[in-house]
Amino acid sequence: MKEVTLKQIAENLGISITTVSKALKDYKDVSKATKAAVKAEAKRLNFTPNAFAVNLRTKESKTVGLIIPEVVHHFFSSVINGIIDKAEKNGYLVIILQSNESYELEKKQIDLLISKRVDGIMISMANTTVEVDHLNHIRDLNIPLVMFDKISKLVPCSKVVINDRAAAYSATKHLIDSGCRRIAHFRGALLPQNSIDRFLGYKKAIEDHGLVFDPELIYICENVDYDDGRSAAQKLIKDGHKIDGLFAITDMAAAGAINVFKEHNIAVPQEISVMGFSNWFLSQAITPALSTVDQPGYEMGKKSFKLLHKEMRAKREDREFLPVTKVLETKIIKRESTN
């Protein structure tokens, strides 16, 4: 079927192409009667605006890119929902890519989004990302960029984060306040800033409350998932460490640990209190229900797109935009895994 054009509608109605274009965009200098006639004819002919032509005129693609480590991750799925809700309300399509925690894949995906001429990019870095030249390249091209959750301080762009250090401090303090005196920490990989900050928050809480920091009670969970939590808990038991508290970097790692403790007839929280992080859906589904830090994923998604939209609008209007960092609030959710 031949594509319907503005010219065809104009000829059918005996008016100019410019008038048709203005009518479809609800310009005030076009009468209501003309607008109604143009829209009716456009509907009759099943007219669809040529997006490519519109993009050439406006210099906008009305698409934005989103790169996240995992799509099926509960936290990131909440972030995606927040971003899509705000993007759709503002007429943007979101291209979602998954880096699988791979630095090399992350670089390729950024190149892909640049080649697609997206209007802006949002990203949560992969755990294996060390160099940030590919991220700074986005800035060099004057493409609006927002980082969230897993960020780099070496990239001068807007960011949406929580105070991971303060949140981890509160989580560890909750264990201390409940009577724990020897607390292990299942931390993330050495590189991501949120992994570093959660470890430092844990360490500071231990030291501030007169407890002894023992580096042997720190176990690295590279993927911060259920299997990592199981492996770390099994190693902790094998190493013979006697603990009465555990702070895990994610709820999934905490859930893995709880199941290992059950298999070894270690009662939670009677013998070991367990604290997670993120407040994923499974934190209420496991037994005992997991105490955790509530991390506002949906709100983080909304704020990320809002910041990106502000920068895209400033670029369109040729205005200066100074990057900002938004820090979202967290809170402790006490459940049955802690005393």
pLDDT for position 74: 79
The rounded distance, in Å, linking the Cα atoms of 13 and 32 is 15
Question: pLDDT digits over 255-284, tens only?
Answer: 999 999 999 999 999 999 999 999 988 899
**pLDDT exceeds cutoff 60 at 41:** yes
Rounded to an integer, the average pLDDT of 294-323 is 95
Reply yes or no on whether the pLDDT at 315 is more than 80.
Answer: yes
pLDDT in tens, 45-72: 888 776 555 555 556 789 999 999 987 7
Per-residue pLDDT at 54? 52
Query: Which domains, from first to last, does the chain contain?
Result: 6-49 (no CATH), 61-162+297-330 (3.40.50.2300), 164-294 (3.40.50.2300)
Over range 36-49, report the average pLDDT.
Answer: 88
Can you give the pLDDT at residue 60?
78
Residues of the chain above pLDDT 70, percent: 96
What pLDDT is stored for residue 61 in this prediction? Answer: 84
- Higher per-residue pLDDT: 122 or 129: 122
What pLDDT does 51 receive?
53
Cα 318-321-322 angle, rounded to 5 deg: 160
Distance between CA atoms of 274 and 258, rounded to whole angstroms? 8
H helical segments located in the chain: 6-13, 17-24, 32-44, 51-58, 74-89, 103-115, 133-140, 164-177, 193-208, 226-238, 251-263, 282-285, 297-316
| Alpha-carbon distances of 278 from 78, 112, 183, 239, rounded to whole Å | 11, 31, 19, 28
| pLDDT(1) > 80 | no
Nearest alpha carbon to residue 292 among 325, 327, 334, 262: 334
Mean pLDDT of the chain: 93
Distance between first and last Cα of the chain: 69
Q: What local confidence, expressed as pLDDT, does residue 26 receive?
A: 85
Confidence (pLDDT) at 50: 64
pLDDT, position 327:
97
User: Which residue type sits at 130?
Assistant: V
Assign 72 to helix, strand or coil.
coil
What pLDDT is attached to residue 127?
Answer: 85
Give residue-wise pLDDT tens across range 133-187.
999 999 999 999 999 999 998 999 999 999 999 999 999 999 999 999 999 999 9
Question: Quick one: what percent of the chain has pLDDT higher than 90?
Answer: 80
pLDDT at 244 over 90: yes
